[in-house]
Amino acid sequence: MVNAISITDLKKKYGSFEALKGINLDIPEGSFFGLLGPNGAGKTTTIGILTGLVNITSGSARIMGYDVVKEYKKSRAIVGISPQELNFDPFFTLDDLLTLQGGYYGMKPKEARAKAMELLKQFGLESKSKVKMRQLSGGMKRRVQIAKAMVHDPPILILDEPTAGVDIELRHLMWEYLAKINKEGKTILLTTHYIEEAENLCDHVAIIDQGRIITEGTPKALIRDVGESMICIRVNDWPEKMELPQWQYTVVDNQLHIQTSDPDTDIGHILSILAKENVAVLEVKLKKSNLEEVFIKLTGKRIDES
Amino acid sequence: MITDHHVSKKIFMFNIGFLTLVKREIWRFMSLYKQTLLPSLISSGLYIMVFGQSLGSRIGTIKESSYIDYIIPGLAMMAVINHSFQNSSSSMMQSKFLRFIEDILVTPLSGLELSTGYIVGGLVRGVLNGILVLALGWLLTGFTISSWWLTLLYLIVVSWGFSAIGVIVGIFAESWDHIAVFTNFIFMPLIFLGGVFYSIDMLPPFWRGISQFNPLYWMINGMRYATLGIYDTSPLLSLLISVAIAVIFTITASFMFSKGYKIKT
């Protein structure tokens, strides 16, 4: 099966600065893939190369098997991009703007206008169809940006920080919408600063830092393999000879701290062992690791640090 | 799922995508007609009244043509050059400045299609301005045209060339000042020294020689031949020079778009 996006040893240099140092990435068709990284990690450069905004120094990138340089007409026809930086054409109203965008991709005017109106309705912007972009709020502009990426109905969507500057309520609505269109079959490549966004939406994530992919996998697997979850149990009286050989743990003042990669599964086992040994449990706390911790552990910094 | 619908019909050159870009460029300047169409009428009307009506009677005729008729083709050329250049250079600059050029660069359009789309937009504005000036000349002076086809050909070719130059300058420009430098310090002197208001034969021999190196002199000469049937120098060479300028700068603009020079990183 051909991958929706396939990147091989991709390098990009700006003068002597190496923005991408040989990236390899395969994104299967139908997946919701998150590319996580701090500012300047190479996310936007990677996306720029996939969509034709950035020239390649070496290596290759393919979209549904089409080389983004040699077969750019085919590769670009099946991708929609919502860039991180908001841009707007000041001359046209939203319906005209989206109709033109569809036209650039070869849609007939009538077909493009119908799709434009459908998207404006879906994004709650129907009443603004005759308004120009500059008159919209930040959240509305962001929605138009995503609508522009979708007007030619591309099977692959690339969203660069799609919820940046969007309030929490709208962000959750957008997450719902993106999850829905992914379920309907669209492959989505998402870059985000919001780890929660990646955890909630993505079935696969890759962490990129200083032009290199550091790790990739499902969020669950990364948390399990890299993260450090903890089960904390306060007991009435910890028997001196009692041992839990399967886990690493410490006991201080009847407080048990157990390291685990899978707290949801392990908690049941541990509690049943304690019950067997007649150890009375007074309090149980789970400290679950998350992608943010994984990110910090692998990169040595928080995602919002540049 | 990827279907044939997504790729098959969208790979041909100069298809709906290209026409959409042309439409966008025409819509843009038509929505600004007070800046893009009317000024030519006002300035040319003033030139005809001041230079033609008041001074013209003292100058008499040039090559058996009344002075007022003599300057109208040059005024039309002036409008064509200014407006075709302004259209593509300012549209390029604006799309770079507000970053909406990215929306166009990510589409399947080739460098040739993109550059030609911008060029054709400027071409249409240039031709419309030229036609408006000629129509105004006809209204104010009864000016008539010797060859409609040749006149239209000149309007198109010159407009094409300067629109292509506008695209290139728009790509290079990092501020509006850079565009203004071209308009005020290069084109304006070349237009005035290119014989809009006088025949080259009226100049001293040294300046007559220098004028031969001014491409606008050849364009104005050709336009005067197409409209009035009179000329200072070879009309055929005038046409060839105008076509050569259009072709050279179109290829350059297309190359710059294809390579992403100054528009991609």
Asked whether B217 and B242 are in contact (CB, 8 A), the reply is no
The whole-number average pLDDT for the span B190-216 is 83
Strands A281-287 and B61-62: unpaired
The answer regarding whether domain A5-223 maps to CATH 3.20.10.10 reads no
Average pLDDT, chain A: 88
pLDDT of res. B150: 92
Domain hosting B128: range is: 11-55+68-259
pLDDT band at residue B210 under the 50/70/90 scheme? confident
Give domain status of residue B4, yes or no.
no
Structural domains of chain B, count: 1
Rounded CA-CA distance B262/A43 in Å is: 21
Give domain status of residue B154, yes or no.
yes
Residues 4-23 of A with CB under 8 A from B: 14
Cβ of B10 within 8 Å of Cβ of A88? The answer is: no
pLDDT of res. B62: 74
pLDDT exceeds cutoff 80 at A207: yes
Cβ of A155 within 8 Å of Cβ of B11? The answer is: no
Instruction: Pick B103's closest partner by Cβ from A14, A96, A101.
Output: A101
Tens of pLDDT, residue by residue over A90-120, are 889 999 999 999 999 999 999 999 999 999 9
Instruction: Pick B7's closest partner by Cβ from A78, A81, A89.
Output: A78
pLDDT exceeds cutoff 60 at A21: yes
Cβ of B11 within 8 Å of Cβ of A101? The answer is: no
Helix, strand and coil content of chain B, in percent to the nearest 5, comes to 80, 0, 20
Cβ of A155 within 8 Å of Cβ of B265? The answer is: no
- B235: which DSSP letter? H
Give domain status of residue B237, yes or no.
yes
Please provide the DSSP assignment of A229-254 as one string: EEEEEEES---TT---TTSEEEEETT
Chain B residues in contact with A148 (beta carbon < 8 A): 103
Q: Which residue of B has its CA nearest to A30?
A: B1
Which of these ranges, A129-143, B42-56, B179-193, B212-226, has the smallest mean pLDDT?
Answer: B42-56
* Count of CB pairs separated by less than 8 Å, A with B: 104
A227 versus A287: the higher-pLDDT residue is: A287
Would you call A238 an interface residue with chain B, using a CB distance cutoff of 8 Å?
Answer: no
Asked whether B76 and B130 are in contact (CB, 8 A), the reply is yes
Rounded CA-CA distance A270/A283 in Å is: 13
Chain A residues in contact with B20 (beta carbon < 8 A): 100, 103-104
Best A104, A182, A187, A189 member to test B by mutation, with max B CBs in 10 Å, is A104
Q: Which residue of B has its CA nearest to A80?
A: B106
pLDDT of res. B255: 93
pLDDT of res. B54: 75
Give domain status of residue B76, yes or no.
yes
**ipTM attached to this prediction:** 0.85
Rounded CA-CA distance A243/A231 in Å is: 15
Give domain status of residue B3, yes or no.
no
Instruction: Pick B108's closest partner by Cβ from A14, A96, A105.
Output: A105
**Residues with Cβ < 8 Å from B174, sequence gap 6 or more?**
none
Sign of the alpha-carbon dihedral angle for A70, A73, A77, A79: positive
To the nearest whole Å, the CA of B108 is away from the closest chain A CA by: 4
Asked whether A103 and A148 are in contact (CB, 8 A), the reply is no
- B183: which DSSP letter? I
Asked whether B137 and B48 are in contact (CB, 8 A), the reply is yes
pLDDT band at residue B160 under the 50/70/90 scheme? very high
pLDDT exceeds cutoff 90 at A228: no
Cβ of A91 within 8 Å of Cβ of B10? The answer is: no
Give the DSSP H or E segment for A263. helix A263-276
Q: Which residue of B has its CA nearest to A85?
A: B99
Please provide the DSSP assignment of B1-69 as one string: ---HHHHGGG-STTSHHHHHHHHHHHHHHHHTHHHHTHHHHHHHHHHIIIIIIIIHHHH-EETTEEHHH
Tens of pLDDT, residue by residue over B16-26, are 999 999 999 99
Which of these ranges, A32-41, B58-67, B83-92, has the smallest mean pLDDT?
Answer: B58-67
pLDDT of res. B7: 53
Q: Which of B66, B215, B51, B47 lies closest to B144 in space, CA to CA?
A: B66
Cβ of A103 within 8 Å of Cβ of B23? The answer is: yes
Chain A residues in contact with B100 (beta carbon < 8 A): 87-89
pLDDT of res. A171: 84
Q: Which two tokens stand for residue A222?
A: 């990364």
Q: Which residue of A has its CA nearest to B261?
A: A55
